[in-house]
Amino acid sequence: MRVLKILLSSTCLLAVPALAQQAPAGQTVATPANWPAAKSQGLIDPATEKFVSELIAKMSVEQKVGQMVQGDIGSVKPEDLRKYPLGSILAGGNSPPLSGDDRSPRKEWIDTSRAFEKVAMEDRAGNLKIPLIFGIDSVHGNANVIGATIFPHNIGLGAAHDPALIRKIGEITAIETAATGIHWAFGPTVASPQNDRWGRTYEGYSEDGAIIAAYAPEVVKGLQGDPGTDKRIQKGFVAASIKHFLGDGGTTDGIDQGDTQIDEATLARVHGAGYPPAINAGAMTAMASYNSWNGVKMHGNKSLLTDVLKGRMGFDGFVVGDWNGHGQVPGCTPTDCAATFNAGLDMAMAPDSWKGLFESTVRDVKSGKIPMSRVDDAVRRILRVKVKLGLFDPARPQEDAPDALGTAAHREVARQAAAKSLVLLKNNGVLPLKASGNVMIAGPGADSIQMQTGGWTLSWQGDGNPNSMFPGATSIYAGIKQAVEAGGGKATLSEDGSFTAKPDVAVVVFGEQPYAEMRGDIRTLEFQPGDKQALALLKKLKAAGIPTVSVFLSGRPLWVNPELNQSDAFVAAWLPGSEGAGVADVLIGDAAGKPRRDFRGTLSFSWPKTAGQFTLNKGDAGYDPLFALGYGLTYAKSGTVAALSEDAGVDASLANTTIYFTKGVTPAPFSFATDSKVTRSAVDGPATQEGAQLLTWPSTPAALRIGGNEPLDLTREANGDLSIQISYKLMTPASTAQVLLQMEGGNNTGAIDATSLFTGQTGTWRTAKIFLKCYVQNGVDLSKVTAPFVVTATGPLSFAVADIRIVSDPNNSTCPGTK
């Protein structure tokens, strides 16, 4: 009840003023008086403003514009700073340090930071020695760095209902970020996800603004210290970035970077809840959102960025953009966008477009298209943050601390957080488990730290990470094994559920594979539509008479009625992070089966009754969840769940938008077709019998097409550096033929000359990854794609294809036909 009182009081403090006039649904210009007031704390003082004013007076146009442009370390090099005086660098989710390995330990990140800083601060004519601010997505710990402590994602922390824990997590995240030479965490996310199909739902604490409002100031103070703290970076604090302003969690159909079509009152009340308390706590930066509000891109909405955020909410820090988000403003490109700065963006995130944006912005400032008053305001805000963060002081004691990442004390907090985040949905008396028993741990997530940490972990999408990349971490299996053996029992890992001696109970760990934005968007809330591998495993164990405990790893509530029906107990474990022992702490009792620790998590998101309840939020008309907001059983308050309907209510084929061919089949809703002149036959794939198609072209032009029923919009995937991956084996090279890669839909006529991919060695399997942006560069319109994979050859060609899908691997992707 103590936490409940905190949440209620936060709600009262953040009451949105009654609207003088109801905002129409199509409104695009905000009225500041309709928004809650706030005021930045601890950012402005006379000494800082005097220092900043004197520095601005010495700066050239080029030096000022440089402060307003941020480049990614995958594109900008330290020596570039001598010509282009950028004010900031970032490491994107897949961007490696200068060593070239994006999965690098601490030292490589420190070396990278120091290499850039050395050039920025070197003695040379005209250099004002303004320090860089280096940012990274430390969204659940500094999870981009090998060996860091990885906390549960925000969706799990929301279920814990513990603001004090959130502050502690912020403090540890700051220490482990500063210790790698990085000064700025791109978090917290204070979105209010309203449609669980959104691929970033797990980055939100809750659908409920009261929980967000209670957490936002605590994580800001954890990352930055209390308002007024000096020498922050020297004390192990970093700048926070409250994001994404505004409405990212409310887009129509849950489409990432989509359009939030709501009135102003709802935008303020639901999606603005976290900003006033975070600003009052001294948040140094805010990140603009990709989405639109009623058709107007946030990166270009002056009424919200300037009039509401900086005006009504009194935000004195600076506003940074998202990855080339400015390029989506009408009339803009990633390399040219005066409109975004005039709207109130202070620093553009221009990862690979920084050079062109710098040059065009210098031009626009000199011409007066961007007023000097706007430039000076942006630069003042940026320099103010650098001063208050302590960047003008070269001391960096955290970088020299020998034991800063993944310490026992830090991991203990992460373990506590994992335990507190668990929500017990069903228990027919099987939990807690006796530590003296014979326990099988099964399922694909049992011994997969990758699955339990999810996206934004070591890479953008969180995939490609074996357990060996998580030194010091504990899988759920390892945690259970330790707890059971300590109680005199036996724990056996069997991913497929096979056994020789029948166990007393099986803990089945399954759920979503890792994903992040865009790739994480789904069209149905059904778990594993059409491919019920986890359900088959549960049925197999039940048929053998083995009690089952399901541990469900997911970044959102999903329709799992069939799996619930087959489980004796069901735990929503969300994405619990690197400390799987926290799960064992709650599931495994003592030798007699008495609880060592009870469940305390309750749902911060409503759980769907059907796979079609895409928007399911308490207070909505017709609210009818399977498990309501706040639901959660405990050992002290147990409960059963009656048999549930297994009618999903949604066509399962709607789910697939990214896999076009795999294991010999074309998953619905796509179909595989060739011109009659192309012969095709089933052949063995690299790992599956008859898991590939052999295609042979004649001496005349012909095509292969994989298409669907509904058009796809792949423009945001192109902006996010996603690629089409093809696994194929060349049989007859295109020695005389030209091979084109195309997409069909709309008025598409462009094509990529991919002939080079179909020459050379024959008879061995190879993989090609082609950036989607290559299609755009070759004149292909990605906004209405009906056939995402088309191959046309003008003459003889033969190859076998085993897999075609969209992936995220920019470091290993190319544009065929370019030098």
What residues contact residue 690 under an 8 Å CB cut-off, 6+ apart?
A: 664, 682, 683, 684
Compute the CA torsion angle 268, 271, 274, 277 (nearest 10 deg).
0
What residues contact residue 244 under an 8 Å CB cut-off, 6+ apart?
A: 189, 191, 287, 288, 289, 290, 291, 298, 322
Pairing of strands 765-771, 723-732: antiparallel
CB 518 within 8 A of CB 254: no
Place of tokens 């530590």: 435
Reply yes or no on whether 403 is catalytic.
no
Reply yes or no on whether 322 is catalytic.
yes
Q: Which residues of 592-606 are buried (b: 16+ CB within 10 A; e: fewer)?
A: ebebebebbbbbbbb
ω into 246 cis (within 30 of 0)? yes
CB 577 within 8 A of CB 450: no
CB 422 within 8 A of CB 573: yes
Query: What sign does the dihedral 604-608-613-618 (CA atoms) show?
Result: negative
Q: What would the two tokens of residue 346 be?
A: 């202070």
> Distance between CA atoms of 633 and 595, rounded to whole angstroms?
14
Identify the active-site residue in 137, 307, 322, 447: 322
> Distance between CA atoms of 717 and 719, rounded to whole angstroms?
5
Identify the active-site residue in 108, 512, 517, 579: 517
What are the residue ranges of helices labelled H in 671-745? Answer: 715-719
**Per-residue three-class SS string for 509-520:** EEECCCCCCCCC
- The count of residues in the chain is 819
CB 626 within 8 A of CB 616: no
Closest-CA residue to 459 (of 201, 813, 811): 811
Q: Which residues of 291-327 are buried (b: 16+ CB within 10 A; e: fewer)?
A: bbbbebbbbbbbbbbbbbbbebbebbbbbbbbbbbbb
Q: At what angle do helices 209-224 and 2-13 cross, to 10 degrees?
A: 90
List active site positions.
Answer: 322, 517
